[in-house]
């Protein structure tokens, strides 16, 4: 099959977009994707958390929260947060249409906001800061601290000049 080719055969890198290996100039590679948890709706999360604490009303809490949990798979309500080697996006619908986005080069910091529901649902809200203002807010991000670190590490790795602003944060450094 390869008998007529001389020398080592290198595959076309566009055919194998491996995150962390493919440069953003060549193609956009997905680094991480997160679907919002029930914590994205604070009032529902508060009621669900309170009812789950009781033995008798816990099934009611599961029923209430399952509406949102499974509702996120419906085309009109579907939403996910996608981090690539070029940008951070909020994608909507089955097709993944980009609703909002911010380039990695524009990200100065990522703020983690936690509330009373954060520990119970293991989720938080991330505020994407550019300049002195919050340009994007990601509600109910599961494992928000590790997603925050992934955003900052992607920015540091792929944006020239940004790597000196913050040190690399190892994923194992998170509790």
Tokens representing residue 134 in the block: 């919050």
Burial class (CB in 10 A: 0-12, 13-18, 19+), 64: middle
Question: What are the beta bridge partners of residue 96?
Answer: none
Contacts 24+ apart (CB under 8 A), 97-100: 100/136
161: left (phi over 0), alpha (psi -120 to 50) or beta: left
Confidence tier at 57 by pLDDT (50, 70, 90): confident
Average pLDDT of the segment spanning 133-141: 92
pLDDT in tens, 93-117: 888 889 899 999 899 899 998 888 8
SS3 content of the chain, % helix, strand, coil (to 5): 30, 25, 40
pLDDT, position 12: 54
pLDDT, position 120: 78
Lowest mean pLDDT among 20-29, 58-67, 141-150: 20-29
- Which H or E run contains 69? helix 58-71
Question: What are the beta bridge partners of residue 34?
Answer: 81
pLDDT, position 7: 43
Confidence tier at 147 by pLDDT (50, 70, 90): very high
Question: What are the beta bridge partners of residue 80?
Answer: 91
Q: How many residues does the chain have?
A: 175
Domain boundaries, the chain: 29-36+75-159
pLDDT, position 14: 53
CATH of span 29-36+75-159: 2.30.29.30
Tokens representing residue 52 in the block: 């789950």
pLDDT in tens, 18-31: 545 677 777 788 88
Average pLDDT of the segment spanning 77-102: 89
pLDDT in tens, 5-21: 444 444 555 555 554 56
pLDDT, position 111: 92
Non-local CB neighbours of 117 within 8 Å, separated by 6+ positions: 39, 42, 45, 46, 49, 123
pLDDT for residue 174 is more than 90: no
Q: Taking Cα atoms as reference points, which of 94, 90, 100 lies closest to residue 33?
A: 90
- Strands (DSSP E) found in the chain: 30-34, 79-84, 87-92, 97-103, 109-113, 123-130, 133-142
């Amino acid at each position: 099959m390869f008998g007529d080719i001389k020398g080592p055969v290198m595959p076309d890198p566009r055919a194998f977009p491996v995150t962390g290996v493919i440069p953003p100039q060549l193609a956009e590679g997905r680094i991480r994707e997160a679907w919002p948890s029930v914590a994205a709706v604070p009032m529902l999360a508060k009621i669900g958390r309170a009812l789950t604490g009781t033995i008798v009303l816990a099934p009611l809490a599961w029923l209430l929260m399952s509406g949102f949990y499974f509702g996120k798979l419906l085309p009109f309500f579907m939403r996910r947060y996608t981090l690539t080697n070029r940008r951070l996006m909020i994608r909507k619908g089955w097709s993944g249409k980009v609703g909002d986005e911010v380039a990695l080069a524009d990200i100065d910091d990522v703020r983690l906001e936690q509330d009373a529901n954060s520990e119970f649902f293991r989720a938080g809200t991330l505020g994407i800061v550019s300049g002195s203002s919050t340009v994007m807010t990601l509600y109910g991000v599961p494992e928000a601290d590790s997603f925050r670190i992934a955003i900052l590490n992607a920015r540091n790795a792929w944006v020239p000049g940004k790597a000196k602003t913050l040190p690399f944060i190892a994923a194992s450094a998170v509790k």
